[in-house]
Structure 1
Amino acid sequence: MLIREAAADDWPRIWPFWHRIVAARETYTWDPDTSEEAARALWMGPGKQVYVAEDDTGAVVGSAYVAPNYGGPAARIANAGFMVDPERSGRGVGRALAEHILTAARADGYRGMVFNAVVETNPAVKLWSSLGFTILGTVPDAYEHARHGLVGLHIMYRAL
């Protein structure tokens, strides 16, 4: 698998799984009806370093970004987002992207990384925990999950 910086022309290969994941209402807090234009701004907007994972055929199978979570004196705490094509889940794409992002964030001078809203039923909670993230707290009943109803949102952190 190749992980590389995303180019503008990668968006049409990211959008199909981005839309599918957000519309499913299981893992992301973004509006399921987000337009493609707004989604592109959310994922590839200014200040974000965006990466894609390609399989051995050159297909984009996942994407991730890293950006400052806060501004000013707290700008060295990163935030990141990760999406793996649901048809490619369980094949190590998410872990490879996460390890790449953690390394890139550390190299860029970030001191830590925070996830502001991890749906507590998201299978990625196990991945983040295995990579050293801890749950700082949970906002109860904050997310209207498509299958589970109201569930909590974890705030997760890891020092870099």
Structure 2
Amino acid sequence: MLIREATADDWAAIWPFFHRITAAGDTFTFPLDLDEKTGRDWWMYSAPNRTVVAVADDGTVLGTAKMNNNQNGNGAHVASASYMVDPAHGGRGVGRALVEYTLDWARAEGFRSMQFNAVAASNLHAVRLYERLGFTVIGTIPEGFHHPEQGYVGLHVMHRPL
């Protein structure tokens, strides 16, 4: 697996699983009916922020990550990131590789920590992965996420120093 900078041409491979994940409504706080243009604008970052793709040896896009400063101004020393793995390629270490890549990027760019602002407490796989990689839940917004099957669940803020 190779992780590389995403190009405009990669969007055609990202959009199908991006749309499937956001329309399911069980992990991201994005609108369920997010259209392709808005999705692309929200996901495909340009410098100094970045969007990358994880690709298989045959060039298949397995997943993607976007990384950025969490805030501006006096809060710009804290990084943030978001991840999507094509469900067809889940459970193969793609998510872990993307998280590790973004942590390396944040360190190299001089960020002091990384913070995730909105991790659905019901997204147990992601929460466990982030905790294994050194993140801690520093707060939970009670009923901050409306899961389509579980109802209102907590929305974690997760953090780790770099």
TM-score (norm 2): 0.96
Alignment gaps of 5+ in structure 2: none
1:43 and 1:141 map into 2 onto residues whose CA distance is 26
Residue 48 of structure 1, CA deviation = 2.6
Letter in 2 for 1:145: H
Residue 45 of structure 1, CA deviation = 3.5
Q: Matched residue of 2:53: which SS?
A: strand
Residue 112 of structure 1, CA deviation = 0.6
Residue 142 of structure 1, CA deviation = 1.4
Match of 1:3 in 2: 3
Residue 68 of structure 1, CA deviation = 0.6
Match of 1:140 in 2: 142
Alpha-carbon contact 2:45-2:51 (below 8 Å) kept: no
Match of 1:94 in 2: 95
Q: How many residues align?
A: 160
Question: Identity rate of aligned residues, in percent?
Answer: 51
Match of 1:64 in 2: 65
* Per-residue deviation, residues 11-33 of structure 1 (Å, max 9, x unmatched): 11111111100111110000011
Residue 51 of structure 1, CA deviation = 0.6
Match of 2:74 in 1: 73
* Per-residue deviation, residues 9-61 of structure 1 (Å, max 9, x unmatched): 11111111111001111100000111100000110134530110001221001
Match of 1:152 among 151, 154, 159: 154
Letter in 2 for 1:129: E
The runs of at least 4 consecutive aligned structure 1 residues that moved more than 4 Å come to none
Match of 1:45 in 2: 45
Alignment gaps of 5+ in structure 1: none
TM-score (norm 1): 0.97
Q: Matched residue of 2:12: which SS?
A: helix
Cα root mean square deviation, aligned? 0.9
Match of 2:31 in 1: 31
